[in-house]
Amino acid sequence: MATKQKGHIWITHNEYMHRSFMLNVVLTICAIMSVFCGSFIYRKDRAVGMASAAALFVGVFAYVKASTLLHWDAFPRFVIAVLDAGLLLMMGVHIIMLCILSFVPQNGAVFAILLAWAFVIVMAVLTGWILHVDRRLSAAAEFVELRDTAAWILHADGRLSAVEGDTTYVMLATT
């Protein structure tokens, strides 16, 4: 049985900054729309609406922003793994919010949460598709930078290999 090998793409710092800027623009739009949905759709209980919008936004933020935490040594491996599971976290939040809202006597609450959920999922998928953000598992622990002129890659089988050259470029991993 063949195992999936992870490929790596080198992009320039300017390309990385452009992707980060576009990602932040999409997340800002998503936050504004989540607040709009939370405060105007849930008219009788705005606290529940805002809480659900905030929870859904945190889920989409974790899903799309995890790709920018590629080789931050400050984050432990399990933190990156949790961020990579952002889509599953959003689904869990959705189920919990549906359970809470089913006990709240409010017209259209279930429809509103499903609408907000669909919006967040569509934004997450479009962000990943447009910005080429690919999911990966704990990529942050795979790279070790030792000098300014070389980056050492730690492979899954434990081998180390050096990548010579300018390390001012940002390495992104794709699955």
Distance CA 70, CA 10 (A): 13
Beta strands in 2-132 (DSSP E): 7-11
Distance CA 132, CA 13 (A): 16
Structure tokens at 81: 């793994």
Predicted structure pTM score: 0.38
Residue type at 53 in one-letter notation: A
pLDDT in the model for residue 174:
36
DSSP-assigned letter for residue 157: T
| Residue ranges for the chain with pLDDT beneath 70 | 1-17, 19-20, 23, 26, 30-31, 33-35, 37-56, 58-175
Distance CA 99, CA 64 (A): 26
DSSP reduced 3-state for 163? strand
Distance CA 42, CA 34 (A): 12
pLDDT in the model for residue 21:
74
Nearest to 139 by CA among 90, 86, 66, 74: 66
pLDDT in the model for residue 173:
41
